[in-house]
Homo-oligomer: A and B are copies of this chain.
Amino acid sequence: MARTKEFKEDQVLDKAIEIFWHKGYNGTSAQDLVMHLGLSRSSLYDTFGDKQKLFAQSLRRYQKNAQDQIIELFDKSENIKETLHDIFKQAVVESLDDRITKGCFMVNSSIELAMHDEEIAKIVKSNSQKMEEVFTNAVQKGQDLDQISKSNEAKVLARFIFNNYSGIRVLARTGERDKQVYDDIIKALFSVL
């Protein structure tokens, strides 16, 4: 009856994530999308509706990937503190590796759009809540196992950790290339845990 789809929606979304991440929402034009996604204007609009919907879908996919990755790390972790350290080390590697500094797609989107777009605001809020939950559970587990200091409540530490994570992502976006700056922040952070 019908011709099958020639492209995988998820693969296109991954490319959309790339360009939106790099250039932001307002900085990415429809023409940019057509060129970078490798499909025609018509297919693009037929498949994803419009630019805003494509962006929201990209951000949701990014969110899911990032969350799943962190959740998995904590799940199979035997030492929460070490796992946390790995997560931050990874963020630093990405910040320094990235020839085109992209920071964090979620943080970037928060700042550019959360205030002016309800749907994006919802995604950002749900991300914050989920991350707070995941980090709180992890820290709690770490405290139960005497791997993390009990000087502060799990939720307090979770919010604190997440805040430093955001900060580091901003730093990356500004183009900071001095590894020592990141290491200093992490060193001080872990002196609380």
The interface residues of chain A, by DSSP majority, are classed as: helix
Q: Are B128 and A170 in contact (CB under 8 A)?
A: no
From residue A130, how far is it (CB to closest CB) to chain B in Å? Answer: 14
A115 an interface residue at 8 Å Cβ cutoff? yes
Q: Are A191 and B151 in contact (CB under 8 A)?
A: yes
Chain A interface extent, by class: 35 or more
Q: A167-B164, A192-B188 are in contact. Are A24 and B112 (CB under 8 A)?
A: yes
From residue A97, how far is it (CB to closest CB) to chain B in Å? Answer: 15
Residues of A participating in the B interface, judged by any CB pair closer than 8 Å: 22-24, 26-27, 100-101, 103, 107-108, 110-112, 114-116, 121, 124-125, 128, 151-152, 155-157, 159-160, 162-168, 170-171, 173-176, 181, 184-185, 187-189, 191-192
Beyond A101-B115, A160-B188, 13 additional pairs, beta carbon < 8 A: A23-B116, A103-B111, A107-B111, A111-B112, A114-B173, A115-B175, A121-B174, A128-B176, A151-B191, A152-B191, A157-B188, A160-B189, A166-B170
